[in-house]
Structure 1
Amino acid sequence: MLSISAWKAAQRPNYETNRDKTYPYSECPFLGEYYLVAIPTSLSNLVEHVDYWGEGRIVHQNGVSGFTNCYNVNHTYQLVSNGPDKGRKIPNRIPVVSYTNCDTSGYIKNNSVKTITIMGAPINSSCAADIARMVHPDQGKVIAYGFQTNSADIKNLVMHLKMKDLFLYSNYTLPKELQGVSMFDHHLAFLNLSMLKEELHKNVIEADFDIAVELAKTMDTESGSEAIIDVVTRLLNEGSPKIMAFAYKLWHSGGEEIVRTTFPGAIQQIIIGGFVTIVNKQYQQALKLDANTDSYNDRLAWGDKSDKTSKRVTWKFMAVLENQNVVFKVQDLNYNMFLKLDANTDNYGDRKGWGSVSDSGINHEFYLEPYSKDGILVFRIINYQYSQALKLDANTDQYGDRQLWGHNGDAHANNAALDWVISSNAKSFEMEKSVI
Structure 2
Amino acid sequence: MPSFSVWKYALPPNYDRNVNKIYPYSEVPFLGEYNLVKIPVSPYKFVDHIDYWGEGRIEVTAGCSGFTNCYNINHVHQVVSNGPDANRKIPNRIPVISFTNCDTSSYIEDNSVELITVMGAPINTSCAEDIGRIINNDVGKVVVFGFEEDSANIKNLESELTKKALVYCEDFSLPSKLLDLTLFDSHRAYLNLTDMSDCLYKNIVEKKYENAVSKSKLLHDSNNGSVISDTVSKLLKERQQNIWSYAYKLWNSNEKSLITNYFPQQFQAIFNGDYVTIVNKRNNLAIKLDANTDSYNDRLAWGDSQDKTSNRVIWKFIPIWQNNSVTFKIINIEHGMYLKLDVNTDNIGDRKAWGDNNSNEERFEWILVPVMINYELIFLIINKRYNQGLKLDANVDEYGDRILWGHNGSVSHDPNYFGWYIMYWRTN
Band the TM-score falls in, shorter-chain normalisation:
over 0.9
C-alpha deviation, 1:114, in angstroms: 0.7
CA distance 1:287–1:297, shift in 2 (3 Å): same
The corresponding residue for 1:432 is: none
Q: Percent identity?
A: 52
Q: How many residues align?
A: 428
Q: Deviations over 1:177-233 (max 9, x none)?
A: 232212122322111111111111111111111111111111125762112111111
Q: Deviations over 1:210-263 (max 9, x none)?
A: 111111111125762112111111111111121111111112123222221111
Alignment of 1:192-231 (within 5 A): 192-220=192-220, 224-231=224-231
Rounded Cα–Cα distance in structure 2 between residues aligned with 1:373 and 1:88: 65
Rounded Cα–Cα distance in structure 1 between residues aligned with 2:227 and 2:348: 45
The corresponding residue for 1:434 is: none
Rounded Cα–Cα distance in structure 1 between residues aligned with 2:311 and 2:152: 55
Rounded Cα–Cα distance in structure 2 between residues aligned with 1:309 and 1:155: 55
Q: Deviations over 1:259-292 (max 9, x none)?
A: 2111111122122222211111111111111222
Where 1:422 maps in the other structure, the secondary structure is: strand
TM-score (norm 1): 0.93
Q: Deviations over 1:325-355 (max 9, x none)?
A: 1011111222222111122222222111111
- Structure 1 stretch displaced more, 18-27 or 300-309: 18-27
Rounded Cα–Cα distance in structure 2 between residues aligned with 1:399 and 1:385: 31
* 8 A contact 2:315–2:332 mirrored in 1: yes
The corresponding residue for 2:13 is: 13
The corresponding residue for 2:238 is: 238
Q: Unaligned 5+ residue runs, structure 1?
A: 429-436
Rounded Cα–Cα distance in structure 1 between residues aligned with 2:219 and 2:20: 38
Does the alignment pair 1:373 with 2:373?
Answer: yes
The corresponding residue for 2:166 is: 166
Alignment of 1:283-432 (within 5 A): 283-414=283-414, 416-427=416-427
TM-score (norm 2): 0.95
Q: Unaligned 5+ residue runs, structure 2?
A: none
Q: Which amino acid aligns with 1:180?
A: D
Q: Deviations over 1:35-93 (max 9, x none)?
A: 84322233211111110111011111111111111110111211111110011111111
Rounded Cα–Cα distance in structure 2 between residues aligned with 1:341 and 1:275: 22
Alignment of 1:44-123 (within 5 A): 44-123=44-123
The corresponding residue for 2:29 is: 29
Rounded Cα–Cα distance in structure 2 between residues aligned with 1:239 and 1:22: 48
* 8 A contact 2:380–2:415 mirrored in 1: no
C-alpha deviation, 1:24, in angstroms: 5.2
Rounded Cα–Cα distance in structure 1 between residues aligned with 2:33 and 2:300: 83
The corresponding residue for 2:146 is: 146
* 8 A contact 2:162–2:222 mirrored in 1: no
* 8 A contact 1:273–1:318 mirrored in 2: yes
Query: Cα RMSD between the aligned structures?
Result: 2.0
Q: Deviations over 1:112-158 (max 9, x none)?
A: 10111111112222222211111101011111122333433223322
Rounded Cα–Cα distance in structure 2 between residues aligned with 1:32 and 1:213: 51
Rounded Cα–Cα distance in structure 1 between residues aligned with 2:248 and 2:157: 31
Where 1:398 maps in the other structure, the secondary structure is: coil
Rounded Cα–Cα distance in structure 1 between residues aligned with 2:238 and 2:105: 44
Where 2:114 maps in the other structure, the secondary structure is: strand
Rounded Cα–Cα distance in structure 1 between residues aligned with 2:354 and 2:314: 15
Rounded Cα–Cα distance in structure 1 between residues aligned with 2:32 and 2:370: 57
